[in-house]
A and B are shown apart, each in its own frame.
Chain A
Amino acid sequence: MSISVSMNVNGKAVGAQIDARMLLVQFIREHLGLTGTHVGCDTAQCGACTVFVNGNAVKSCSALAVQFEGAQVTTIEGIASANGEMHPMQAAFKECHGLQCGFCTPGMVMSAIDLVKRNGKALTETSIREGLDGNFCRCTGYHNIVKAVQMGAANMKGV
């Protein structure tokens, strides 16, 4: 069944006729060509597909695109400045070597920003580890991701 959907992604109005079964992540990746959002599993466990919907982190592999009619969606492509300067959390991941293969990274960065927004700067190692429970990384052993989130939190303005 074909159905129409429209939403705002990274500040741009987008709309399309889609298969009603299309997942939000497929809409983002295949319809919009924003391939920074990744699919690492099919059970909402790995978190590689994490995006913001109306300001909240959502696993876009476990939601239908049609559920988000009129929503404000932000993907990893939408968090750096217009001139390409990275978001403080992105910069912290680079500085702390919080990524290796880069596949989980977009979802990890989105979750980390969400974690800081929800908890403020007062994050401990334990609360960061618990807060990233919904994101898998197979490369880093999480050691440097924890450091990156601490640095990113410290450098995020207005939190």
Chain B
Amino acid sequence: MNAPEKQPGMGASVRRKEDYRFLTGNGQYTDDVRVPGQTYAYFVRSPHAHAKIRKINKGAAMKAPGVLAIFTGEDLAADKVNGLPCGWLITDVKGQPMKEPPHPALAQGKVRYVGDQVAVIVAETYLQAKDAGELLEVEYETLPAVVDASDALNPGAPAVHDGVPDNRCYLWSLGDKAAVEATFAKAHQVTKIDITNNRMIPNAIEPRAALAHYHRGDDSYTLYVTSQNPHLERLLLTAFVLGLPEHKMRVIAPDVGGGFGSKIPLYAEETVIAWASKKVNRPIKWTAERSESFLADAHGRDHRTHAELAMDKDGKFLGLRVKTTANLGAYLSTLGSVVPTYLYGTLLAGQYTTPAIYVEVDAAFTNTAPVDAYRGAGRPEATYVLERLVSAAAREMRLDQAEIRRRNFITTFPYQTPVALQYDTGDYKACLDKAMKLADVAGFPARRAEAEKRGKRRGLGYSTYIEACGAAPSKIAGMLGARAGLYEAGEVRVHPTGSVTVFTGSHSHGQGHETTFAQVVAGRFGIPIESVDVVHGDTGRIPFGMGTHSSRSIAVGGSAIVKALDKIEAKGKKIAAHLLEAAETDIEFKDGKFTVAGTDKSVTFGQVALTAYVPHNYPLDKLEPGLNETAFYDPLNFTYPAGAHICEVEVDPDTGVVKIVNFSAVDDFGNIINPMIVQGQVHGGLGQGIGQALLENCVYDRETGQLVTGSYMDYAMPRADDLPSFKVGTHVTPCTHNPLGVKGCGEAGAIGSPPAVINAIIDALAPLGVTHLDMPASPERVWRAIQQAKRTKVA
């Protein structure tokens, strides 16, 4: 490991502190929490993609056994509950703000997608609430629906929102259009592709859940909720929606069973039950059934893109232009607007020196579930466009796939891209070289020949990706339309006997913060990792935080903790100087000891902690007792993890079945604290990326707007026997602008892998004449592509 000496505790694959409770059934997830007197909520959802609500008759349902209350959109409106806010304002090509139609937590007058919340029923038991739901009479007047973004933007399409007759939320652009046009005018070769980035349903295995508890005694609320960012949840819920002071709401996101972006947004369900718990003066629990997760969790991706790459005669990239149509769903989810814009267009330089880039994104409302962040959020979409395009360009230019990339790699840093980002560091060639060794590219021709003898087609696919993580410098984010800051907070509380509790605004829902963050602290203080506990996910205990998303936890949350550690060390030196009767400037801290430089006089970290809390011999005139520091860290820049993924597939041309025989990933995440956890993050990302490339696809019926893939019988989640074992490696160029030199690793696998897989399949089938495939590359699609190519050849 290339961990720098100044940061001890890094580079060891410490086994996770949190595992014992998960493995023995002692985790506490939201649905595991029970409070006395709790009631249950059932949401009545729209069976129609688009309809007017003519009338709701509560009568029969209200009389059902156990029912306490039924609320509809009218009840929320009467109580002046606001709609759900969007967290990012996009300004369009004409300088106008995006269209922000209301997003009511319960439908008001109209439903806009199958699964849209129409009413909530609160009852003594869940079955009673659900039974009553069957009795609620809702009279609908169905309207024509539109589920495809391109269809929605066509003149005459049904308007999802009356206030947005053309369904266009915004037409947004980035880059210098004229400069790009000029490069195309002088290009030797232009490669063009039209591709779809298929719609995904995130499918964290823990369904969303919430338990809202109103306390009449002090007019406050406790909300347990499956959230990746409890403080953001609280901010949006209190200040924006319910009009409550923040200190009256405690949001707890306990153990959360996976998020992948889908647990970032503020959702309707927790909003409604928080409000309703005061109305009925009882705690209310809601837990999604998986069918509801399919319908009403925020979905991901869903782009259609035309992209063109201009090159000179040597395959050097001159210009890139991209036109994308993005599906936002029926409403703007919390981060719905920023995913296809600033998290997408800014990534289109990739690892390449392309001097001129222009991207346009046309974003449409449709009668589908809202679309928001899903692992990678915009960056996988950008990588898929670019890496598919680069591979197509290599084929057209008859250049080797690695060679065309090498010719265009950025090699000097910092590097300012034409799409706003400034990369601080990286070594793309080194990653590619390592990945090619790992993938045994040299041995590929022999393997391909051997497969051909068995009637199979082998292919090798490359993807060299960049991502922007560690969101984000608040000032820049604010300039670009963010409605919140994107710093992180950390508190380090040293207890009198020298053990430590760390409070972080990051949230772990599988990432292992309780171990990784503890390693950082234990290493710094020279104490056993068992002496450090990490607390996350509770606004009642943690100063503040923006939560976990965009691979930001270690880079931003970790940096906040390091800043707090710096303050602890500085104060510890003052205390030690007093105890050792030395000048503060002469005190050094290393291996858990404060030492007078050049002497053997020292005190331990534990002695200093005890002195801070038992200040009998203490400079009380100059220094407060206690050893407890809080820090906020606002990043100076994004971090830029990058890597090279190489996929080798074997295709059966008779059946179209694709088998991944080798997947090699070499990633540069900067310094690595726990290699075991980092590898696990890569594996998981690869699983999701390969799932997108080969299996998963969210499909709505184009006529009726019904969700066709609404269960695990229809939506092809990757199972153990669908995925290969992975070969993963790292290359380290430390991040230059955060104290740990870290970049983040959570999303890389899902970003880098989809184009590697599809490029590999196209490489395998290119001899048969196949030049294009869309995800997921199911056997049927692959077989059809082969047949189509055969017919074209004959013709």
Contact = CB atoms under 8 A, between A and B. Distances in A.
Interface string A21-51: 1000000010001111111111101101000
B19 A99 contact: yes
A97 B680 contact: yes
B27 A36 contact: yes
A106 B291 CA distance: 22
Contacts of A119: none
Given A139-B510, A141-B683, A144-B683, A129 B24 contact: no
B206 A40 contact: yes
B19 A21 contact: no
Contact of B289 (A42, A45, A97, A133): A42
Interface string A50-81: 00000000000000000000000001110010
Given A102-B27, A140-B683, A141-B723, A41 B258 contact: no
Contact of A136 (B20, B127, B205): B205
Interface string A128-146: 1110110111111111111
Nearest to B28: A35
Interface string B282-306: 0000010111000000000000000
A104 B205 CA distance: 7
A41 B712 contact: yes
A153 B756 CA distance: 34
B327 interface: no
B257 A102 contact: yes
Contacts of A145: 720
A99 B290 CA distance: 21
A86 interface: yes
B25 A41 contact: no
A109 interface: yes
Contact of A129 (B290, B686, B721): B721
Given A103-B257, A138-B258, A141-B726, A36 B289 contact: no
A108 to B, nearest CB: 9
Contacts of A146: 720, 725
A142 B127 contact: no
A149 B349 CA distance: 42
A94 B16 contact: yes
Interface in B344-401: none
Given A42-B289, A100-B684, A135-B720, A19 B205 contact: no
Contacts of A141: 683-688, 690, 718, 723, 726, 749
B178 interface: no
A31 B712 CA distance: 28
A38 B26 CA distance: 11
B172 to A, nearest CB: 31
B684 A41 contact: no
Interface residues of B, number: 60
Interface in B1-53: 15-16, 18-29, 31-32, 34
Contacts of B257: 38, 40, 101-104
B93 interface: no
Contact of A125 (B255, B711, B725): B725
B260 interface: yes
B203 interface: yes
Contacts of B287: 39
A145 to B, nearest CB: 7
B479 interface: no
Interface in B219-233: none
Contacts of B419: none
Nearest to B202: A138
B511 interface: yes
Given A42-B289, A43-B290, A97 B16 contact: yes
Contacts of A129: 719-721, 723
B133 interface: no
A53 to B, nearest CB: 17
B676 interface: yes
B572 interface: no
Nearest to B131: A21
> SS class of chain B's interface: helix, strand, loop or mixed?
loop
Given A43-B713, A45-B712, A103 B205 contact: yes
Nearest to B674: A97
Contacts of B712: 41, 43, 45-46, 136
A35 B24 contact: no
A93 B720 CA distance: 15
A58 to B, nearest CB: 16
Of listed B289, B712, B719, B720, residue having the most chain A CB within 10 A: B720
B256 interface: yes
A34 B26 CA distance: 9
Residue in B16, B290, B509, B512 whose Cβ sees the most chain A Cβ within 10 Å:
B290
B506 to A, nearest CB: 15
Contacts of B688: 138, 141
Given A99-B19, A141-B684, A34 B711 contact: no
Given A93-B23, A103-B257, A146-B720, A43 B28 contact: no
Contacts of A126: 721
Given A42-B289, A77-B25, A128-B720, A138 B203 contact: yes
A154 B416 CA distance: 53
B109 to A, nearest CB: 31
A74 to B, nearest CB: 11
Contacts of B22: 99, 101-102, 105-106
B237 interface: no
A132 B718 CA distance: 12
Contacts of B32: 29, 35
A62 B719 CA distance: 20
B687 A38 contact: no
Given A43-B290, A141-B686, A103 B25 contact: no
Given A100-B680, A100-B684, A95 B15 contact: yes
B25 A100 contact: no
A142 B510 contact: no
Contacts of A93: 19, 23
B451 to A, nearest CB: 19
A27 to B, nearest CB: 13
Contact of A36 (B24, B291, B687): B24
Contact of B721 (A38, A45, A100, A130): A130
15 contacts: A29-B32, A39-B31, A40-B205, A41-B290, A76-B23, A80-B24, A86-B24, A97-B677, A97-B680, A100-B512, A136-B205, A139-B510, A141-B749, A142-B683, A142-B723
Shortest beta-carbon contacts, A-B, top 6? A36-B25, A103-B257, A141-B687, A102-B22, A101-B510, A100-B510
Given A103-B205, A138-B684, 19 more contacts: A19-B127, A35-B25, A39-B31, A39-B287, A40-B207, A45-B717, A93-B23, A97-B16, A97-B679, A101-B205, A102-B21, A102-B27, A102-B510, A133-B721, A136-B717, A138-B687, A141-B723, A142-B719, A143-B725
Interface of B: 15-16, 18-29, 31-32, 34, 125, 127, 203-207, 255-258, 260, 287, 289-291, 509-512, 676-677, 679-680, 683-688, 690, 711-713, 717-721, 723, 725-726, 749
